[in-house]
């Protein structure tokens, strides 16, 4: 199976997928850590894909999304963005709206706490 097929199958097989450096329990870069931390804090169930474990996946995900950096978040098959975009969406409430529109469970109180702490 090609790297592109693996990526497509992963995205189609889970509601929320984070392509990241490291894993959700042990991120290996600050940007991946930030996004995984937000999702974990908000109680979002997500599949993590460690791009450091597979150089082909690491390169192909950038081509697949036409986005040059890692991490990359997908929700219900749709590319959402990287660390800066996810941070902005979390603080503005747009991430909450996206999860609600897509039927993804998350902890609204936790999301509000993130905004209060960074407001």
Which residues belong to the annotated binding site? 29
Q: Counting every residue, how long is the chain? A: 119
Strand boundaries in the chain, DSSP class E:
16-20, 47-50, 72-75, 78-81
Question: Strand 47-50's sheet: what is its strand order?
Answer: 47-50, 16-20, 72-75, 78-81
Considering only CA atoms, which of 33, 102, 97, 45 is closest in space to residue 115?
97
Binding residues for [2Fe-2S] cluster: 29
């Amino acid at each position: 199976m090609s790297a592109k097929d693996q990526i497509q199958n992963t995205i189609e097989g889970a509601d929320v997928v984070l392509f990241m450096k490291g894993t959700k329990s042990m991120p290996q870069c600050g940007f991946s850590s930030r996004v995984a931390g937000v999702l974990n804090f908000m109680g979002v169930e997500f599949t993590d894909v460690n791009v450091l474990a597979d150089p082909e996946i690491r390169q192909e995900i950038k081509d697949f999304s036409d986005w040059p950096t890692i991490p990359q978040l997908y929700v219900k098959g749709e590319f959402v963005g990287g660390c800066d975009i996810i941070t902005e969406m979390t603080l503005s409430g747009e991430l909450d709206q996206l999860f609600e529109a897509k039927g993804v469970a998350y902890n609204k109180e936790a999301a509000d706490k993130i905004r209060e702490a960074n407001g």
